[in-house]
Amino acid sequence: MKLPYWNKAIAWMEWRQNWWKFWAAFVLMSMTPIVSTIFLFIKAINLEVYLGLGAYNSANLWSDPISKMVAGDFGQSSMGIFAVFIVLALGVVPIAQERAQNSLEFLVATPVSRREIAVTKFLVGAGAIIGIMVVNLLFIIAMALVLPANYTTPVVLTWFAVTTSVLLALYSLGFLLSTITGNLPAAFLGAFGLAFAPKYVTVLLKELLISFEITPWGYGAVHRVLESLGDLLTLPYYIKYYKYVKFHVPYLFNAVDQSWHTI
Amino acid sequence: MWFNIDQRSSTPIYQQLVEGVKEAVAKGVLSPGDRMPSVRELATRIAINPNTIAKAYQELEREAVIETLRGRGTFVSTCGNQMGIEEKKKKIAPMLNRILVEAYHMQMEEQEMLSLMEETVREWYRERRQR
Amino acid sequence: MPELAIETKGLTKKFDGEPAVDGLDLAIPEGSVFGLVGPNGAGKTTLIRMLMGIITPTSGTAAVLGSDITTPSGELRRHIGYIADVQHMYPFFKVEEILGFCTRVYPTWDANRCKTLLHTFELPEHKQVRALSKGIKTQLALIIALSVRPRLLILDEPTSGLDPVMKHHFMQLIMQEAASGSTTIFFSTHNLNDVERLPDQVAAVMRGKLLFHRSMDELKAGTRERSRQSFPMAFPKKSAEFPKSSRWNPRGRYSPSSWVTALPKPLNGSMPSTRLM
């Protein structure tokens, strides 16, 4: 690949060092879509009448986990609970690992520039995440082509677009923090904290407003605005409460509208 | 071996090499026509800066102890040092002088000195002929 | 004017305000063998790490093989072989994987040379780096440095921690590289024996400052002067009381006495009378 600052040697080295981590990430992140679907199939083979059970169309039962995930039913995460942690870890590990094992000096003394190191490592991890998502996407779509399913393709594509972007954003956050601290646990915790920060900050602000009894533009509206902003800006919630977050957008508009009218 | 240099000696390394080669040739350890290691070979072998070795070789060539045949390498000279008898005397005499000064300070007699010298010289040449 | 392999002008590095390298000016011509001497903490490793781009200087400039050391691109290191003072390689990689990485990252990598050297050193290819001893890791570093077919070899105390046999072997290989004529060799050491036999030029540093920079011939000519003076009628006692005599060693009636000076001779040739010093 001929991208600027892409270095084949570093990419090879990243893969050689971390290939098992990428495979583990794949397995863990694919829990919901691929793994649980396969488990259902295995169950179905064992309990012959399994497919006949259920109040609704039994032929679609296999697609339950996927359709729940893709539609974003309340409480169902969009890509397995582990996804956030895994992606943050994938972001933090490349650089932090170099510093932990002291190999950064060896690397820097070779004919690679620091920019090449950063860019190549970033792209390898990002590529892995995109690859995992794409594999899941293809699996989901392929299954729908073979068997009748409870979900439709446009919904799946939306899910893919939103989830991949959020995961890449979290990955970048982890990567950024590892370049700042270099200490693996510190970077991980820092990234984790920053990812959830909007929620905490807005909750804190809301509580402060309530305690000091400041109520601009009417009680409740501002609090709801803050709450919605917190949920919207907190990236992990797009994974954890996928559809729930989508509700916040019209909710937010309503709240702003309301408070505007109150003034 | 002639290229074993003594790092602790105050004699410069190239000088030690020059003297080592001369001694080896004089004793017959190296015979005329023998191939000398190239500068590079010797530098690698004894881990000495190649420039130092090159300097030693230059001096040896100047004194016609060794000669370089282009394309073939460096060899011990076959024809040797063609110096006139006067020149030889001029070089050896001061060396002899130094020995005699030391001997004097050790309070050696003239006859003692002469017989010692004769003994040493004959022994040296006898050993050489035996090689 | 021969090309300069390494050139530094006022190179300075400060750590917390303390200068580790202080205004260093060096000019090392291509093809020469250059030795940097100094005690521990003199700043040799800091200087070398700056030349390799591992740390950035506080002030001053330096150029290696014509390129400024602060250029972000890694190109200038393509033709530099480097042995660090402490080897840090990927500990979980096997030797062959490290070499695999080097093959891909150095454009001028000579695989045959690498194989030959591995064979000569009998280095175990399938062992992980973390299982190797310090000496073996240094050997590996040398193999990598030489297989690059470098134009410049930068060696930071390369023979420290090696057994005498290995040390000799190292020096042999380095001199072989020097004899090829196309490689410049820059090494640092605190072992004065190495300094006598290997380099053309020597520089000494202490507390970050350059003490002197001489060619080896000049240094040897001016540094050690052993003067043998014999006094057949017994050693004149007055000489022993001479204020500047450093050492006298009487032995019986015939007393050779030697004095050794260890300071370099000033270049303009003026010498204090040192017969009795």
Q: Using an 8 Å CB-CB cutoff, list chain A residues near C87.
A: 106
Contact across the interface for C224 and B10, Cβ inside 8 Å = yes
Q: Using an 8 Å CB-CB cutoff, list chain A residues near C89.
A: 103, 106
State which residue of chain C sits closest to B41, comparing Cα positions. C176
| A49 pLDDT higher than 50 | no
Say how far apart CA B60 and CA B124 lie, in whole Å: 23
Neighbours of C19 (CB within 10 A): 18
Q: Using an 8 Å CB-CB cutoff, list chain A residues near C105.
A: 7, 9-10, 110-112
State which residue of chain A sits closest to C141, comparing Cα positions. A106
Cα dihedral A233, A234, A236, A240 sign: negative
Segment C129-147 mean pLDDT: 93
**Helical (H) or strand (E) element with B69:** strand B66-69
> Does the beta carbon of C277 lie under 8 angstroms from any beta carbon of chain A?
no
Q: Using an 8 Å CB-CB cutoff, list chain C residues near A13.
A: 90, 101
| A8 pLDDT higher than 60 | yes
Minimal C-alpha gap between C276 and chain A (Å): 51
Contact across the interface for C198 and B50, Cβ inside 8 Å = no
Instruction: Report which of A76, A66, A63, A259 is spatially closest to residue A149, judged by C-alpha positions.
Output: A63
Q: What is the mean pLDDT of chain A?
A: 79
| C249 pLDDT higher than 70 | no
ipTM of the complex: 0.77
Provide the pLDDT for residue A2: 64
> Does the beta carbon of B13 lie under 8 angstroms from any beta carbon of chain C?
yes
Query: What percentage of chain C carries pLDDT values higher than 70?
Result: 78
Secondary structure, 3-state, chain C? CCCEEEEEEEEEEEECCEEEEEEEEEEEECCCEEEEECCCCCCHHHHHHHHCCCCCCCEEEEEECCEECCCCCCHHHHHEEEECCCCCCCCCCEHHHHHHHHHHHCCCCCHHHHHHHHHHHCCCCCCEHHHCCHHHHHHHHHHHHHHCCCCEEEEECCCCCCCHHHHHHHHHHHHHHHHCCCCEEEEEECCHHHHHHCCCEEEEEECCEEEEEEEHHHHHHHHCEEEEECCCCCCCHHHHCCCCCCCCCCCCCCCCEEEEECCCCCCCCCCCCCCCC
Predicted confidence (pLDDT) per residue in B90-109, tens digit: 888 888 888 888 888 888 88
| C255 pLDDT higher than 50 | no
CATH no. of B13-76: 1.10.10.10
| Cβ atoms of residues C198 and C175 within 8 Å | yes
Predicted confidence (pLDDT) per residue in C119-137, tens digit: 999 999 899 999 999 999 9
Interface of chain A against chain C, CB under 8 Å?
7-10, 12-13, 16-17, 101-103, 105-106, 108-116
- Indicate the range of A121-125, B16-20, C207-211, C251-255 predicted with least confidence: C251-255
Say how far apart CA A255 and CA A250 lie, in whole Å: 9
Provide the pLDDT for residue C257: 39
Segment A130-149 mean pLDDT: 84
Provide the pLDDT for residue B73: 86
Q: Using an 8 Å CB-CB cutoff, list chain C residues near B7.
A: 193, 196-197
Q: Which domains does chain C have, with CATH numbers?
A: 4-220 (3.40.50.300), 224-277 (no CATH)
Contact across the interface for C89 and A112, Cβ inside 8 Å = no
> Does the beta carbon of B48 lie under 8 angstroms from any beta carbon of chain C?
yes
Residue A101 pLDDT class (50, 70, 90 cuts): confident
State the best of A8, A13, A15, A115 to mutate against chain C, taking most chain C CBs within 10 Å: A13
> Does the beta carbon of C200 lie under 8 angstroms from any beta carbon of chain B?
yes
Contact across the interface for B13 and C174, Cβ inside 8 Å = no
Predicted confidence (pLDDT) per residue in A174-231, tens digit: 999 999 887 889 888 998 888 888 888 888 888 888 787 776 655 567 777 777 777 7
Q: Using an 8 Å CB-CB cutoff, list chain B residues near C198.
A: 47-49
Q: What is the mean pLDDT of chain C?
A: 81
Q: What is the pTM of this model?
A: 0.77
Residue A256 pLDDT class (50, 70, 90 cuts): low
Q: What is the mean pLDDT of chain B?
A: 85
Say how far apart CA B120 and CA C19 lie, in whole Å: 64
Say how far apart CA C246 and CA A13 lie, in whole Å: 61
Minimal C-alpha gap between C193 and chain B (Å): 7
The domain spans of chain A are: 8-185
Minimal C-alpha gap between C159 and chain B (Å): 13
State which residue of chain B sits closest to C192, comparing Cα positions. B7
> Does the beta carbon of C151 lie under 8 angstroms from any beta carbon of chain A?
no
Out of C74, C97, C104, the one facing A8 most closely (by C-beta) is C104
Size of interface B-C (CB pairs under 8 A): 52
Residue C144 pLDDT class (50, 70, 90 cuts): very high
C273 or C65: which carries more pLDDT confidence?
C65
- Pairing mode, if any, of strands C59-64 and C33-37? unpaired
The domain spans of chain B are: 13-76, 85-130
Instruction: Report which of C185, C183, C182 is spatially closest to residue C171, judged by C-alpha positions.
Output: C185
Q: Using an 8 Å CB-CB cutoff, list chain B residues near C254.
A: 105-106
Contact across the interface for C91 and A110, Cβ inside 8 Å = no
| Cβ atoms of residues A33 and A140 within 8 Å | yes
What's the residue count for chain A?
263
Minimal C-alpha gap between A189 and chain C (Å): 25
Minimal C-alpha gap between A146 and chain C (Å): 43
> Which chains does chain C touch, 3 or more C-beta pairs < 8 A?
A, B
C240 or B50: which carries more pLDDT confidence?
B50
Token pair 């006067």: residue: B86
| C22 pLDDT higher than 70 | yes
